Structure 1
Amino acid sequence: MSDLEHPRTIDFSTFIFSLGSAALIHLGVTANPMNNKIEKNLEEAKQNIDLLSLLQEKTKGNLTTDEEKLIHNLLHSLRMRYVEETQKS
């Protein structure tokens, strides 16, 4: 059966991974899955990173230990990559 008939369950971790993936695409680390091209857009990457940071702040105290680690580690990695990319430009 197709994904439309049985959509995947979206949980917090899936949502966070989705935002992280978008940031990686905008950082030029991963190809855009729609056209398989590398498309760097640091402004969009920063927006995704800021959104993840906002979610981390607003969900503090409501996450499992694994979810807290996930968002913390992802944000750290994305921020470091963002700094690297801005220094190249």
Structure 2
Amino acid sequence: MDNEKEERRGFRVTDRRRFAESGEARDDAPPEPSVDPKPSGPAAAAPPHTAAAAAEGVPPGPVNFSTFVIGLSTQALLHLGEIANPMTNAVERDLEAAKHVIDILGILQEKTRNNLDAGEETLLSSVLYDLRMRYVDLVRES
């Protein structure tokens, strides 16, 4: 009786491979799942990077140094009042927060000097220059 209970509690292994060891297709293989056709047009070309897409559970794209820099620059632009807050659709200006994010990008530039490829270095330098100029213009206006 103990053996019978152990057999019931054991693992059940199901072979779901489409091909046998010899490389031939198996007759009892499960059918391939149907894939919905991808939408065409501009909506298909642009990956969803909105708060609505995040709420729907759409995974973000791959993260690398360039996307990290772009994400920080977007935060700085948001704090500078250059783009609307995606949650409230209102333009909000917080120069102290913008300066903080710009300083973080400056630290990244300093700490990664001579460790970036040419494209990453150009991106970081141009983003920092642009953000610093926008920040200085806004500080002079206030």
TM-score in same-fold range (> 0.5): yes
Quickly name the TM-score band, shorter chain normalised: over 0.9
Alpha-carbon distance, 1:62 to partner = 1.1
Question: Could you tell me which residue of structure 1 aligns to residue 58 of structure 2?
Answer: 3
Matched, 1:83 2:139: no
Percent of aligned positions that are identical: 49
Matched, 1:28 2:87: no
Matched, 1:64 2:117: yes
Q: Which runs of 5+ in 2 are unaligned?
A: 1-56
Segments ≥4 residues shifted beyond 4 Å: none
Q: Distance in 1 between matches of 2:126 and 2:61?
A: 24
Q: Deviations over 1:8-48 (max 9, x none)?
A: 21010000000000000100111011111100000000000
Q: Could you say what the CA RMSD is over the residues aligned between the two structures, in angstroms?
A: 1.4
Question: Could you tell me which residue of structure 2 aligns to residue 50 of structure 1?
Answer: 103
Alpha-carbon distance, 1:3 to partner = 2.0
**Which letter does structure 2 place at the counterpart of 1:8?**
G
Taking structure 2 as the reference length, what is the TM-score of the superposition?
Answer: 0.59
Alpha-carbon distance, 1:61 to partner = 1.2
**Number of corresponding residues:** 87
Taking structure 1 as the reference length, what is the TM-score of the superposition?
Answer: 0.92
Q: Deviations over 1:36-76 (max 9, x none)?
A: 11000000000000000000001111111000000000000
Q: Which has the larger radius of gyration?
A: 2
**Which letter does structure 2 place at the counterpart of 1:62?**
N
Alpha-carbon distance, 1:88 to partner = 1.0
